[in-house]
Homo-oligomer: A and B are copies of this chain.
Amino acid sequence: MGRWEPNTRERLARAALELFGERGYEQTTVAEIARRAGLTERTYFRHYADKREVLFGGSDVLRKVFATAVAEAPASDAPIDVVAAGLEAVAAVFPGRETARQRQSVVGSHPELQERELIKLATLSAAVTEALHARGVADPTAALAAEAGIAVFKIGYERWIAPAEHRELADLLHASLTELKAVTAGSR
């Protein structure tokens, strides 16, 4: 038994998040994660490239959702509005806030995990830039709009998982975008 249980990746991700919360990231071995998921260390590495990656399984979905929304936005929309549509789409598919908080408390206290998060965001930015290119947006504008979108996502997401925060992600992303517009348009 144990073989052929479904949702292997998800079981591994859940086991990892639990163990990281219980003992800490460094004190948890990959073998332990696999064992809690009813699997072997070798099998873990067939689903995740390394020990860190298990915390970032959602970034693929995030990238696809964002890029698809950008690609399918009305042709008449300005780049910044296209990015806003991407942010809305992202907010709609995001998992629970408690899981996000657990995850962030682990990532936030380990530089090697922050490194991974940074490169995921950079990849996301590149994907949005490319999606804008496909709409005919030229390069300085496309890259800047993408960077701005990622910055808004970052800030809105941080707010969303902050303690005692109850507003929805969609609202916080919208508010953050509005503030960015105000700052860049301000008389500075």
Q: Which residues of A contact B (CB under 8 A)?
A: 111, 114-116, 118-119, 122, 140-141, 144, 147, 151, 179, 183-184, 188
Contact = CB atoms under 8 A, between A and B. Distances in A.
Contacts of A188: 141
A51 to B, nearest CB: 13
Given A118-B119, A147-B151, 14 more contacts: A111-B119, A114-B119, A114-B122, A115-B115, A115-B116, A115-B118, A115-B119, A118-B118, A140-B179, A140-B183, A141-B183, A141-B188, A144-B183, A184-B184
A114 B122 CA distance: 10
Contacts of A116: 115
A144 to B, nearest CB: 6
Contacts of A179: 140
Nearest to A118: B118
A147 B151 CA distance: 10
Contacts of A111: 119
A119 B147 CA distance: 16
17 contacts: A111-B119, A114-B119, A114-B122, A115-B115, A115-B116, A115-B118, A115-B119, A118-B118, A118-B119, A118-B122, A140-B179, A140-B183, A141-B183, A141-B188, A144-B183, A147-B151, A184-B184
A186 B72 CA distance: 27
Contacts of A183: 140-141, 144
A140 B116 CA distance: 25
A147 B148 CA distance: 11
Nearest to A184: B184
A137 B31 CA distance: 49
A100 to B, nearest CB: 20
Contacts of A114: 119, 122
Interface centre among A111, A115, A141, A147 (most CB of B within 10 A): A115
